[in-house]
């Protein structure tokens, strides 16, 4: 709601795609495609375009196909002015290469670095 009020839906689309793709990558899988879902009381095409443009930019950079999903206009379900945007990323991984956390033991650690901020994070499993 805040992003919509500030005209920042493009960033929401980009964030949604990045988070979905990252979820697949963290399992050791190769992300293949992203499906999106947009629902509102009344669909405004310019808002849908902003969301999809943001998601498409991230998908292009990640080599992931944006195959589309569903756009639904649901008066009576959504209040006037409400908008819902969701996504699902599909990937593939060989069973032997699946990262599922079952091999984590005390003393293991993980390191994360983000280009969006200067913080680097180190986490140790206790």
The CA distance from 68 to 118, in Å, is: 34
pLDDT at 81: 86
pLDDT at 111: 65
Burial of 13 (0-12, 13-18, 19+ CB in 10 A): buried
Q: pLDDT digit string (tens) for 49-107?
A: 999 999 999 999 999 999 988 999 999 999 998 889 999 999 999 999 988 888 888 88
In whole numbers, what is the pLDDT of the chain averaged over residues? 87
| Cβ atoms of 74 and 42 closer than 8 Å | no
pLDDT at position 108 over 90: no
Residue ranges and CATH numbers for the domains of the chain are 2-99 (3.30.1330.10)
pLDDT at 114: 52
How far is CA 109 from each of CA 14, 75, 105, 118, 120, rounded to the nearest angstrom? Answer: 29, 48, 9, 20, 13
pLDDT at 117: 47
């Amino acid at each position: 709601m805040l992003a919509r009020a500030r005209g920042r839906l493009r960033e929401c689309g980009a964030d949604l795609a990045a988070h979905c793709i990252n979820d697949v990558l963290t399992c050791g899988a190769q992300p293949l495609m992203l499906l999106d879902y947009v629902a509102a009381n009344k669909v405004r095409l310019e808002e849908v375009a902003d969301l999809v443009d943001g998601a498409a930019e991230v998908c292009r950079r990640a080599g992931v196909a944006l195959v589309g999903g569903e756009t639904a206009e649901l008066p009576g379900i959504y209040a006037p002015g409400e908008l819902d945007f969701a996504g699902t990323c599909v990937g593939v991984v060989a069973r032997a290469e699946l990262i599922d956390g079952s091999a984590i033991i005390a003393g293991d650690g993980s390191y994360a670095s983000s280009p969006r901020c200067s913080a680097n994070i180190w986490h140790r499993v206790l």
